[in-house]
Amino acid sequence: MLKHAWYNTLVVNPLTRRLEMQIDIQDMDRPLLSVIMPCYNEAATLPQILERVYAVGIDKEIIAVDDHSSDETLQVLQAEAARNPHVRVISHPTNRGKGAAVRSGLAHARGQITIIQDADLEYDPDDYYALIKPIVDGRVDVVYGSRFMGSHTGMYFWNAVGNKGLTFLTNFLYNCWISDMETCYKVMRTEIIRELNLESNDFRLEPEITAKVLRRGHRILEVPISYIGRTYEEGKKMKPSQGFYAILALLKYRFVR
């Protein structure tokens, strides 16, 4: 169990009926949570998502990685880092992909637990409480946030079908039973994600993490999360062709490595 007194009591917010935790932060050399935020052309949503992450009452650091954006993403991040000492900004000189951005952030992570946070507004940081509690309690070492177990809207039909297909293939190949392999919210002890020795530069990062976690014998606990998908016009980056590469990644890490 993590030696970190980070909550005292559980309460239910009477307005939202959501389970919330009252936080009692203790001074420590390491924050409890490292939030790695890959960013590519997200200047429009960054202020909002950062404020939502700030509002989460958990001892944390935010490591934002600008993947050579062509908009004002880097300038927004630098301004935030100037006013908030818990924000660290890393900048890629060339566009390398989400996987490379996560690896860059992970190299600087100091937290006991690591979570990956997209820089858009599809995922709700209020779900951090439910995501990290099973790890802090010592029940498991890896937690996934499942969009299909929680409330969701705005997901394209064919994207949902593709996601289900990739998740089914994951369950078949790795003899597991999860509902959302492609979720952004993959949360685990920092030493575990470092031991995975991630190598994917693009969205193949998602199946790579899952495959390596399962091959190392870790159990994945899923908890419900909320999800509000954005449109391609709003900047959604996941394309159907990436599903083909995800299949290749699942096969590669099952039979080759």
Q: Any idea what the CATH number is for the domain that residue 246 is in?
A: 3.90.550.10
Domain-embedded: residue 219: yes
* Amino acid identity, position 126: D
Average pLDDT of the chain, as a whole number: 87
Lowest mean per-residue pLDDT among 23-37, 125-139, 241-255: 23-37
Taking the C-alpha atoms of residue 182 and residue 254, their distance in angstroms, rounded to an integer, is 17
pLDDT tens column, 14-35: 344 344 444 444 445 789 999 9
* 3-class state of residue 184 by DSSP: coil
What is the span of the domain harbouring residue 242? 12-255
Instruction: Count the domains in the chain.
Output: 1
Domain-embedded: residue 1: no
Taking the C-alpha atoms of residue 254 and residue 127, their distance in angstroms, rounded to an integer, is 31
Taking the C-alpha atoms of residue 159 and residue 240, their distance in angstroms, rounded to an integer, is 7
Taking the C-alpha atoms of residue 27 and residue 31, their distance in angstroms, rounded to an integer, is 9
pLDDT over 80 at 42, yes or no: yes
Domain-embedded: residue 6: no
pLDDT of residue 167: 96
Domain-embedded: residue 2: no
pLDDT of residue 6: 47
Which residues partner with 188 through β-bridges?
A: 114, 142
The burial of 241, by beta-carbon neighbours within 10 Å (0-12 exposed, 13-18 middle, 19 or more buried), is given as exposed
pLDDT over 90 at 213, yes or no: yes
Query: Angle 241-255/205-215 helices, nearest 10 degrees?
Result: 20
Give the confidence band of 161 by pLDDT, cuts at 50, 70, 90. confident
Tokens of 197: 């020795």
pLDDT over 90 at 158, yes or no: no
* Amino acid identity, position 83: R
How much is the average pLDDT of 242-256? 92
Place of tokens 């200047």: 43
Domain-embedded: residue 149: yes
Domain-embedded: residue 3: no
Domain-embedded: residue 7: no
Domain-embedded: residue 247: yes
If one compares 19 and 162, the residue with the highest pLDDT of the two is 162
Taking the C-alpha atoms of residue 164 and residue 181, their distance in angstroms, rounded to an integer, is 8
Across the chain, the runs of DSSP E, i.e. the strands, are 10-12, 19-21, 33-39, 60-66, 87-91, 113-116, 142-146, 152-153, 186-189, 220-224, 227-228
* 3-class state of residue 8 by DSSP: coil
* 3-class state of residue 67 by DSSP: coil
Lowest mean per-residue pLDDT among 60-74, 173-187, 188-202, 227-241: 227-241
